[in-house]
Amino acid sequence: MVTLIKNVISLSPGLKHFLKRSRDGYKRGVLRYRCYSYEKKRNAAHMGWHRPNNLAYSKRSAELIFWYHKLEKGLCLPPENRRFFGRYPAQQTLDLLTKWNRDGLSKQATVYKAAVGVLEAYRDFVATQDSTKPDVAATLTELEAFLNGHEQSEQIYRTPIEFKHLPEDSYDILYALSMSRRSTRNFRDQRVAMALVEKAAKLAQLSPSACNRQPWRLHIYDDKSHIEQMLKLQNGNRGFGHTIPMLAVVCCDMGAFFDSTERNEPPLDGGLFLMSFLLALQSLGLATCCLNWCVDPKVDQQGHKLGNIPQNEKILTFLAIGYAAEDTVVPLSARRPLSDLIVTH
């Protein structure tokens, strides 16, 4: 019977084509469902500050930045808009700082010090407002009660700072750097010093992120056999994976986001960080190649396990880092004309 069906199918190319398309469509549908429900489950489990495990440093610090950044932004609006603002964010900031102290988190943490710096600037602003208004008077009292227990912030935590105008050749310098960065698929057998990665990461940290929460996490691997195992999970390194001396996995801490409406932020913030990181590595004489993490849920979990990456982190991409081998060539990778890109309205 099976042979008969097979024979009928082989005699009819149209039927064969139809069956193949149906089978592929079914497989795609199953995969789509698995990927969507995986993301949905992970978002529900890790995105959101309302969870009881909200005490973790990463979440608490993200929430703190989120609130104090509202004050910091408000202090930089055009002068005509600088009427009294910020009572609620200030209360949230004070409340979180109190919890921070109650939970024994470090007062030396940058995030804590930055919060105090913002509150000082905001207090100075509130002090210029009409103190006969109850909101103004109450806010000032609350701020002073907190800040009186702190020494004045060091200069590096004082905000706002002056906008810097750059010299005219800045574009040319950045253009030359961007032109020289090309995905490299042939690395020299030479270790990459961790100090260089740190230097590049320090620059990449200057990337913008939603409410400045800086949700990025960078996992670095330089053990050859570990890299080899990790690369087996990834389909875009064939032919050159064995030359990669250092592998980075760029991730985003999903716990930095307040709820699922922020679902697009992890890849967005991560992408901004990644671009700066690539350029910084390039400027330090290193070569790179992004390696897509387009994987099904099962492989994503294998990546977490093998890379020792916590579940609250979303893996965004693998990244090969090293020195380009002698005589390496790279694709031209011509760019589209601007008319394909810009739509004017």
Ligand X SMILES: Cc1cc2nc3c(=O)[nH]c(=O)nc-3n(C[C@H](O)[C@H](O)[C@H](O)COP(=O)(O)O)c2cc1C
Give contact residues for ligand X (rule: CB under 6 A). Answer: 182-183, 185, 236, 289-292, 317, 330-331, 333
Residue 220, burial from CB neighbour count under 10 angstroms (0-12, 13-18, 19+): middle
Q: Which is nearer to ligand X, 127 or 294 (CB)?
A: 294
HSE at residue 304, side-chain half, CA atoms within 13 A, is 16
The distance of closest approach from Cβ of residue 244 to ligand X in the complex, given in angstroms and rounded to an integer, is 11
The distance of closest approach from Cβ of residue 230 to ligand X in the complex, given in angstroms and rounded to an integer, is 13
Side by side, the strands of the sheet bearing 216-221 are 216-221, 246-253, 313-322, 287-292
d(CA 136, CA 299): 55
Give the relative orientation of helices 297-307 and 13-46 as an angle to the nearest 10 degrees.
Answer: 50
Contact between 233 and 302 under an 8 Å Cβ cutoff? The reply is yes
Contact between 230 and 244 under an 8 Å Cβ cutoff? The reply is no
Q: Looking at beta carbons, which residue is closest to ligand X?
A: 236
Q: Which is nearer to ligand X, 272 or 330 (CB)?
A: 330
The distance of closest approach from Cβ of residue 39 to ligand X in the complex, given in angstroms and rounded to an integer, is 17
The distance of closest approach from Cβ of residue 329 to ligand X in the complex, given in angstroms and rounded to an integer, is 11
Q: Which is nearer to ligand X, 333 or 344 (CB)?
A: 333
Cα→Cα distances 51→54, 267, 285, 309, 317, Å: 5, 22, 44, 21, 27
| CA 314 centroid distance within chain | 9
The distance of closest approach from Cβ of residue 319 to ligand X in the complex, given in angstroms and rounded to an integer, is 9
The distance of closest approach from Cβ of residue 266 to ligand X in the complex, given in angstroms and rounded to an integer, is 14
Q: Which is nearer to ligand X, 186 or 214 (CB)?
A: 186
The distance of closest approach from Cβ of residue 36 to ligand X in the complex, given in angstroms and rounded to an integer, is 20
Q: Which is nearer to ligand X, 196 or 295 (CB)?
A: 295
- Six-digit token pair at 188? 């020299």
The distance of closest approach from Cβ of residue 62 to ligand X in the complex, given in angstroms and rounded to an integer, is 24
Contact between 250 and 104 under an 8 Å Cβ cutoff? The reply is no
Q: What is the DSSP pairing of strand 287-292 with strand 216-221?
A: unpaired
HSE at residue 316, side-chain half, CA atoms within 13 A, is 25
Q: Which amino acid is at 323?
A: Y
The distance of closest approach from Cβ of residue 317 to ligand X in the complex, given in angstroms and rounded to an integer, is 5
Q: Which is nearer to ligand X, 183 or 205 (CB)?
A: 183
Q: Which is nearer to ligand X, 214 or 282 (CB)?
A: 282
- Six-digit token pair at 196? 């260089």
Helix, strand, coil in percent for the chain, rounding step 5: 55, 10, 35
Closest to 316 measured CA to CA, from 275, 279, 262, 288: 275
Q: Which is nearer to ligand X, 196 or 330 (CB)?
A: 330
Q: Which is nearer to ligand X, 305 or 336 (CB)?
A: 336
